[in-house]
Chain A
Amino acid sequence: MTSHASSAAADASIPPRTDRRQAGASGEPPAAPRRPGRRTGGAPGEPGLIAYAYVAPALVVFALFLLAPLVYAVQLSFYEWDGLGLGTWVGLDNYVAVFTDPELRAPFGHALVLVVFFSLLPVTFGMLLAALMTRTRVRGAGFFRTVLFLPQVVALTVVAVVWRQIYAPTGPLNDALRLVGLDGFARGWLGDRDWVLVAIGLVGTWVGTGLCTVLFLAGLSKVGRELYESSRLDGAGFWAELRFISLPSLRGELAVALTLTMVAALRTFDLVYVMTGGGPGNASRVPSYEVYDRAIQEGDVGTGITVALVLTVVILAATWLVNRIADDREAA
């Protein structure tokens, strides 16, 4: 424990500096005299073909195990297929179904609820924690950072198993509620249609907050100390400092945190699979679960894959939108 704590403390000062060095270095190589013909990186007369030999192994694996399935996915989305016999060409029917069939639309609605818990809450909490840790010189900052980030590294299956126990009808959460006299609130959280998404969502909040905190801490460490010093002289309190200094300087990190956590929310699978299996009823079915259940369990491959592709487009659109907004603000 001691060695860990000390390494964490010693480490606390490292990331910003290394960050900067790496960032600076990754731009242009130091001003070496550039002669025409030497910029290729190949020795004179050496065929540039050699590059393909280096790229080929990666490209082959990538093409076979990622691109080919992706192309096949698009193809399958135009078929109705049970995974066994011959498929039937149905054109855009599967896509129409995803947008019109309430049973297929519901999971996307559930995913939106999860976005609030997986993304908005962790970003808010992360911002507050990072601001607190930057404003006051916190002793043991490295320790707190390490602990807060910890949920991020535990397998989500494990997380799901643990939280299932916390939410159990006789679990610690209900015990605590009864202890403080809120017996009426105690319930089987994961078996309650109205609460199941909130319960799963809070697990996402638990997982994501540390990541956001660490991202924002890294961002804030690049803000000049003088800026804070002078605002402090002007009598700026915590909230003013957060609003006028920290928030504006964290635009990039905000976009990154929102992107990462939103994608995680939209893709939630492990938690749902282990905690509820989509239930009770269909109350916690999310897109990824729908994909797996339809395509592999129910033999409705075309629909399942179409849900996956629509989900992909939603994720790309969300990512694009968040970064677009961040860029716009930066330009303005």
Chain B
Amino acid sequence: MAEQKASTSIEAVESGLAAQGYIASRQIATAVYLSQQIEKPILVEGPAGVGKTELAKAIAAWRGMKMIRLQCYEGLDEAKALYEWKYAKQLLYTQILKDKLGEVLGGAQTLHAALDQLHDFGDVFFSKEFVEPRPLLQALEQPGGCVLLIDEIDKSDAEFESLLLEILSDFQVTIPELGTVSAITPPTVILTSNSERDLGDALKRRCLHLHIGFPEQRLEERIVESRVPGISQTLRRQMVGFIHEIRSLDLKKLPSVSETIDWARVLVLLQASELDTDIVKDTLNVLLKYEADIEAASPQVTTFIAKAARSNVFG
């Protein structure tokens, strides 16, 4: 367990993340707490823009650790994720050291003796010196621990998953030429996925499985409150209520938390004090990213505003 501010309770996690502007639901806080206590990575799934990546950033900021990010994509391999040999450097060194070779072999009379002498130097070129660490290896080598974010794991190939298994379960990797590199301090690992591809059972088994969906209305209001400080309470309630109505529609891409925050910022910028039909219609493109979605939502705007306002009165 990391010494820096290892959280003592679920509440501590919640308040710690809140201090970084990340308002976590109880599930999220429980997951973060447990992942530290039983040293397991968290696999975070959920729609885009609900704060999966943000969670990793918030944990890093809160615990004062470095965040190392590995963005996954199709074709990502060992050489780019884990480590690579610095071939050029190896080559350069052999050239430079050519003269030295004579000295090393100086005494040897026969080919056999020369080979024996060379043998002692054979492993020099496959030593730590010539390894170029990539994100995963870097994460293991951080002396004070770190937050390792493996972003959008579902974009990578199935083979890459297997590569991760050793790191995820034991926080170590095996480099054939060097042996096993274990983490100095086990990193806090967050994997995110948009469920584009089903992940393997082996991977899932090594992780806590956290699903972040769209937040409840109250929680979302708190998130807006912490992210967009200038916004009035009435407007906050109305706009969050409105977004919840929008999410009930059958849209191509539902607005998520990041859109909510963007919209709140826009509304503050426009100095709106209340939602009205005009301002919503003008700014709908902040919330909805497809022309078809905007068209589908536009006729409902007035009703939704009314609904949001009404729930505001009772809420």
A-B interaction = no
- Taking beta carbons and an 8 Å cutoff, which residues of A are in contact with B? none
Binding site for A on B (CB under 8 A): none
